[in-house]
Chains A and B, each alone.
Chain A
C-alpha cells in the first residue's frame, strides 16, 4: 500500500495555459475525490467518483475544469485557460465505499502556481 500518489507535486504555468494533474488512488479504493485548498482556507470539495462514474460536482468546478477517471483507477484533473485565481493546492483522496470521510486517504497534493 503506497498511499495516494499525486503528480506533479508542483506546477508553475503561465496564465492561459492548460494543465493536467494525475492522481493514483489506493488500489482497493473505488471512491476518488478532488479538493482544492487555497492559502488560509480549508480544502474545498470539487468532485468525486465511484469507480469511473462522476457522482457529484461542486459549483466551484467551472467549465474550465474537467475531471476523468476512465477505467475506475487513476484520475486526471484538467484546467483549461488557467487564471491566477486557480493558484492553489489540489488534493486528491480515495476511500472504500461506505467509509465516508473517516476513510479518506489524502495525497500530498499538487501545488499549482499561475503566473
Chain B
C-alpha cells in the first residue's frame, strides 16, 4: 500500500529552466513532508522540508509547495543546473519519526 506516490519516474529539463517534481499522498494524518536527493552509491541527503501549517517553503533555488486539500506537494528547482541531476524522493510522516517515501523521480538536467 503505497501511501506516498511519485508518478513520474523520470524528468529531463534544459539547464536554466524550471524543474517541477510532483508527489501525492493518501494519508491525511501526514504533517511533515520532505524532499531528499540521492546520487548513485550514496545515501539520500535532505533537501527541503515543509510542515502542514505552511503551503510554501523556499530555500535558494528550491521551493516546496504543499496543497493539503489535494494531498499534493511539489518541488520547484529554478534555475536547474546539471549538478541537480539525481533521484529525488519525497517523504511524509505523521510524527516526524517514521517517514514514508515515494518511489523517486530521476531528474536529468541537460547542459
The interface of chain A, by Cβ under 8 A from chain B, is 4, 31, 33, 35, 40-45, 48, 55-56, 58, 91, 93, 100-109
Contacts and interface: CB of A to CB of B under 8 A. Distances in A.
Contacts of A40: 103
Which range contains the number of B residues in contact with the other chain?
20 to 34
Contact of A102 (B49, B89, B97): B49
Contact of A101 (B6, B91, B102, B103): B91
Given A4-B43, A91-B43, A102 B101 contact: no
B83 to A, nearest CB: 19
A73 B42 CA distance: 22
B98 A43 contact: no
* Pairs of residues from A and B, 9 with the lowest C-beta to C-beta distance, nearest first: A42-B101, A106-B43, A100-B96, A102-B49, A45-B98, A101-B34, A101-B99, A43-B101, A42-B89
Given A42-B4, A55-B97, A108-B43, 16 more contacts: A33-B97, A35-B101, A42-B89, A45-B99, A48-B98, A91-B43, A91-B44, A93-B43, A100-B93, A100-B96, A101-B91, A101-B93, A101-B99, A102-B49, A106-B45, A107-B43
A107 B102 CA distance: 19
A56 B96 CA distance: 12
